[in-house]
Structure 1
Amino acid sequence: MNPVPRIRRGFRLQWEPAQACFVLLYPEGMVRLNGSAGAILEAVDGERDVETIIERLRTRFPDAGDLGPDVREFLREAERQHWIEWQ
């Protein structure tokens, strides 16, 4: 079974119209996400494994090339930042 990322408890991803971007809200504050980070975290639903997330993003952004390494690196960084956890 492949590990499945999910947004960490206490954090919430939401689209912020005033800033025209996704933000990650948590009790101590907010992280404003760039477009790529927002697209990746939007696909993190606690049900999809990493390969399924990558495939979903390939379908959504067909001209982006090989997204796998960048998505994996972002998820590692998101884990280091405590934005996501694995189940």
Structure 2
Amino acid sequence: MSSLAQHAAIQQQVPKLRRGFRLQWEPVQNCHVLLYPEGMIKLNDSAGEILKLVNGQQSVAAIIDELSGRFPDVPGIDEDILAFMEVANAQFWIELH
């Protein structure tokens, strides 16, 4: 599947955090973290903003639309979000349905 076709397919899917994972703001770290039974993943600002919208209800395309509206001056934000979704899925942080 071409990268373009793969990205189009991902946009239609609905992401949700995997069972056992929880997103929360960690004041001591001054960032969002993804907690899971074996540990914690410290997230950068972009990853935190994306994962705050991962709720098992809205599609990747809806998340892209939301963040594109909130951050209109960020070039290539759609590609960045799609790349993050691919990595987060490959790392088993999220499931895509």
Normalising to structure 1: TM-score of the pair? 0.93
The code of the aligned residue for 1:6 comes to K
Whether 1:85 aligns to 2:63 is no
Q: From 32, 49, 74, give the equivalent of 1:64.
A: 74
Runs of at least 4 residues off by over 6 Å: none
Whether 1:37 aligns to 2:47 is yes
Identity of aligned residues (%): 53
Tell me the CA shift for residue 66 of structure 1: 2.9
Tell me the CA shift for residue 20 of structure 1: 1.1
Equivalent in the alignment of 2:21: 11
Q: Which runs of 5+ in 1 are unaligned?
A: none
Deviations 1:43-73 (A, max 9, x none): 1111110110001101111211231111001
Q: Which has the higher Rg, Structure 1 or Structure 2?
A: 2
The code of the aligned residue for 1:37 comes to A
Whether 1:26 aligns to 2:36 is yes
1:39 aligns to what SS in structure 2? helix
2:19 aligns to what SS in structure 1? coil
Normalising to structure 2: TM-score of the pair? 0.84
The code of the aligned residue for 2:22 comes to R
